Structure 1
Amino acid sequence: MSRTNLNADDTRRQPAEERFRLVVESSPAAMVIVDNHGEIVMVNRQTENWFRYDREELIAQAVECLIPSRFHDRHVNDRDKFLKAPQARPMGAGHELFGRRKDGTEFPVDISLHPMQTSEGMLVMAYIVDLTDRKRAESEIRKRHTLERLALLGQLAGSVAHEIRNPLGVIRNAAYYLNMVKESLDGEAQESVEEILEEVDRANRIVSDLLDYTRDPPQQTATFDVVNFVHKLVQERRPIDDELVLVQSQIKSFDVTADADQITRILENLIVNGVQASVDPITIQIVISSSGSQVMIDVQDEGEGVDDSQRLRIFEPLFTTKTKGIGLGLVISKRYAEQNRGTLELVDHTGVGAVFRLTLPSHELVGGEVVMEP
């Protein structure tokens, strides 16, 4: 071939290469071209934008720098297999793929591979699409569907709970009458009456949890001494099994403005949970203290405690580690605490069992005016 023909070939090749570079550079997706050794030979502007590298930093680097380190070994093996039988195809079909930015953060991607035979050997172009917005939209759709299902289930649960409460009341009244005349019953019958009353109480707590979870009743707030309130609640409550609930107060009094019924539900839920988590002999400790303008009520049981895997889910709806209950008590209690401008949390401690802390603000911070005698 003459020098003239060679020059003509070069002249035709240059515009073609320039057009190719323009296509790659203007692509809305990230495009990375690597050689058969896995080294980057070309990237476009979108690659710089998404991966936050300057292109000079990427040229001649192993393409694995754009991939999370946990996938490096697998990617090298997959790359070698691809080069043995190159063909255009999606990468990682059936798997979630992630890109790794310069700062180490990751984002979901979709990648398709396109082999190119050139005078310099085999090159592979990776066409990369950022799926962050798509994944976010899919997550929002799933979340919306979940909320819709929960709302429907909530309506159904509320209706069922309301219908169950009436026959439970009839059963309880009948059992209460039998309990009044239990002296005329034999020992086995007396035990049966006690069992009926306990199970009716448990069913009522479940019904109350369902109703409280599915509705948002108006608050009836009043100002009262929470120390006396806790002492009176413990004295008047009907014990479960052979429990012993001890109250220790480091302060004489502390006025709060809150919904007394909701505070009762919180403490009752915590005591019942503690009793169910403990083994004989059952002892529940309630410790009342204050710090500045807040009062802390700690309810501690002597059970096995809450392990790390359960801590993150302990306040999730329907999550429970117990054989009894449906996992709504703590959810409702936390919501009631927040409605009364307080908090409910699981706190670390050095002893056995678990400690749940109810924190409420002082009367002065809330500014209540109605005074209630506990």
Structure 2
Amino acid sequence: MEKNDELEELNKKWHQILEVAPDAMLIVNEKGEIIFANLQCENIFKYSKEELLGQLIEVLIPEPYKSRHPEYRTHYFKKPRTRPMGSGMELYGQRKNQEIFPVEISLSPLKIKNGLIALAAIRDITERKKIEKTLAELNQKLLLSARQAGMAEVANAVLHNLGNVLTSISVSMECLRDKSRHFQFIKNILRINQLIRDHALDLSEFLSTDKMGKKIPEYLAQFSQLLEDEYNEITREIQNIHSLLKLAIEIISKQEAISGSAMLVENVSVEAILESAIKIADLGKIEKLIITKKIDQIPLVATDQNKLLQILINLIMNGKEALLEVDTPHKKIIISAKKHRNQHIQISVRDNGSGILPENLRHIFSFGFSTKEKGHGYGLHNSALLAKELGGSLKVTSAGVGMGATFTLTLPIKQM
């Protein structure tokens, strides 16, 4: 009786783990019948578990894919293989109300006592597709707006700025795509379940003395922690995408408002703009990077927020790129802001990256000049022009190759 109780308890834990998985989890046998569906399946497909169990998997697939799927399914079980999420295929599911929606699916075969089953993790990517469509429309709208202004430099400037935002969004979306690490764990959970069934008659001894059996409780605890960590990471990435989308829309709105000519001056917080620039530059993606901020008490400054943000993004991105070119164990970017001679503020971005040759310092802000192999020589040139438009200046110092560089933006302190 005790062994049966232990077996029942472990089976419950296995089911609980599959139930709380953030993706819809399905298990299908070789006949194509659904033999397991978790709660997320109900949420995504709008069928109850009772309605799904015993049904052919094709009930969840729309035409024209549905009629061809039995052939694909038969082929899969003849030549089983693991297929990860995000494999580049355009896949669609169908809800109970016949609504068709985009999905990503990872598949993994698993041998059991009576044959072969397939574990499928299904992710509804409707919201991601909407975001991708919004980004494409924003990009097109901005390009048209800039071209209509008839100013190549304005077009390039705003697109350069927006490009950084879109890149950050893309990185966040890639992070979301990568949040399927738990899938391998779930495959292992199924194997654990099979092991437990195989040792039903000697379960206590198996869990206490067998090398593999002793690892099972620890493994289940690790998986539980993994799910919790992934949930928190996914939540943070989604919040980041939404804030960056708002910023992208704001950039476009301001571009349309000023029509490439007039300054849009307002009282702004330098510290807040620096924080936005750091987020867009996505500094956290460099391994072992130390970011230091030294920001003094600075009053609000009357300036064009969008242009100041663009300068700072360019400077921080430049420092990031310089750090990617070196193999130093302690990569640093120091961002400082302070008052300068009462009537000005100075914002500096210093890195310990690749540095600049002395003979290149005088050309660094020239249009088309770049020290990078894939550089276009536009970001720093445009930043220097924008600094002048804001009534300030942009300068650079470097002790040479491998010695890093410091870019200093000086702006007048004015208030509306």
Calculate the TM-score normalised by the size of structure 1: 0.41
Larger radius of gyration: 1
Q: Which has the higher helix share?
A: 2
Calculate the TM-score normalised by the size of structure 2: 0.37
